Structures are given as C-alpha cells and as structure tokens.
Structure 1
C-alpha cells in the first residue's frame, strides 16, 4: 500500500499543535488557578471548654487572591485537631476546605469548626491558644486564638 506524500505531516502537525497548546499553559499553578492566594485570618476564638478533653475553635479566612485549600491545623493544645463541617445538623470530619479566589471560608458555631481532642490542659477564659493553619499553596499561617467565655457569641460580642 502506497502512502500519500503528506501522510507523515499529519502526525507531525498534530504533535506540533499539542506542544503549542501546552506552551500556552504554565508550570506555575498560580497561572492555572488565578493569582497567588492572599489570606487574612480574623475573628479567631475558642469558647472556654466545658470538659477537660475537648474544645472547639472558630475563625474566618478571607482570601483576596487565587484559590487555596486549608489542609490541616496543628496546635500545642492538642495533637488531635480536626476539621469539621455541619451538614443537616450532623457533624462530619473533613480532610480539607477549599478557599475560593476572592472569597471567604468561615468557621462558626453551628457550621464549619475545629475540634481539639485529648487536650494537654483545659484552657481558661483569657488565655490564648496558638495554632498553625496549613494551606496547600500559602504554606503555614500562625494564629493566636483567644479563649472567650463558654457562651461567647461574636455577633453580640459577649
């Protein structure tokens, strides 16, 4: 069977097109998902725990850049800090939380929250708990979380 003269050109042209399209992208993940994340953590607090073994934590992450993901949290207060969501009134452990570009991720009472288990000590109102938030793109962010009264509600400030 005789091959047309330009038959070899079709695969070469296809390869060239694929390489050209690949060149339009970038190895920089920021280019693929927008600008670099610019994160600010505000409103952090922990209600004074009512038990010696477990506590919750809340805060808001505001992102004025590209997407990021909160992957874990570590603290001297506990070796067991987990991320939780609340869906249909039930608490569910999560592996991570996405933070949208130019968006927020809220951890609030009745919603997303941190769970601290097997506490090294029971923090009292007025103390500060040190946290390190671990993000996929940003890296780590240190947070000082004040311990508020057990009934503290940030909407009222009490």
Structure 2
C-alpha cells in the first residue's frame, strides 16, 4: 500500500516535468513566423512594384531566403541604406523577434510585372523561409501614397 502513493507521486512529477518541457516551444529552435501588415502600393509604372510587410517570430531564428509571385517575372529582396537600394540574398529573422519590411527600409521588388496591380487588387506572394518553408500571403494593393502607421506599433497589440 505504501507504494501506491509513491508511484502516484512519481507519475505527477513526471507529468509536471513533461508539461514544463512542452511549455517552452521556442527553446527547441523551431521558428514560429506570422506575417502581418502586408501591402503593395499601386505602382506608377507597369514594370516594377514594391512590397512591404512585418514578420513576427515567436520561436527560434529563421531566414527569409526568397520570395515569388505569379504577378512578376522575378521578386527580389532589397534593403535601403542612405537612400540607396541594394539587393540582398536573404534576411535573418531573429529568434523571438521581428523582421520589418517598410518604406525607406527593407522591401520586396516585383520585377518584370506580367500585369500592373491596381488599388483594390490582392496579390498572392510566397515567402520562402529556410526552416519554416513557404508561407503564402495575400498582399492587398493600396493607394500609391499609402503609408501605414509604423509596423512597430503593431507589436505592442
């Protein structure tokens, strides 16, 4: 009879340890990315467009390695530094952090457009992450002058 409470205590302890291990998913290094605030300003010309969005990651580090869309012959990753645009091979997505693509900074370039997106359209974009895989996001086309309040303000909500 003395073994029953001891065995029960061991089971409770083992379950408690198991729940503790399961409660901290980011410690296993698995990224948990979520894309928000995506948009494409209506382009002035018919051959190129830009795309902006915010990646939230509540897990381990990842890398945005490329992007693609049926609307463009090519989608490239860019950064803007000192007013100069520069193509990037990839962008790090920090563990438990954010990667922001906003006007005047990081952005997607949709090159060799197959059709000019118009305000009100939705453009399907595939974001390719090294660990997470492909995440498909619907980018609404906004007015050319559209500029949301800073993406950083979304993080506090």
Structures share fold, TM-score greater than 0.5: yes
Gaps of 5+ in 1: 1-32
User: Comparing both structures, which one devotes a greater share of its residues to helix?
Assistant: 2
Match of 1:50 in 2: 44
Alpha-carbon distance in structure 2 between the residues aligned to 1:69 and 1:35? 13
Task: Name segments (4+ residues, structure 1) moved above 3 Å.
Answer: none
Hey, what does 2:68 align to over in structure 1? 74
Does 1:65 find its partner at 2:52? Answer: no
How far residue 35 of structure 1 moved from its aligned partner, in angstroms, is 2.1
> Normalising by the residue count of structure 2, what TM-score does the alignment of the two structures yield?
0.77
1:131-142 alignment to 2 at 5 Å?
A: 131-142=125-136
Q: Among residues 116, 129, 154, which one is paired with 2:148 in the alignment?
A: 154
Distance 2:35 2:29 in 1: 19
List gaps (5 residues or longer) in structure 2. 1-26, 151-157
User: 1:39 corresponds to which residue?
Assistant: 33
Count of aligned positions: 124
Q: Which residue of 1 aligns with 2:118?
A: 124
Q: Report the structure number with the largest CA radius of gyration.
A: 1
Secondary structure at the residue paired with 1:154? coil
How much is the aligned-residue C-alpha RMSD, in angstroms?
Answer: 1.3
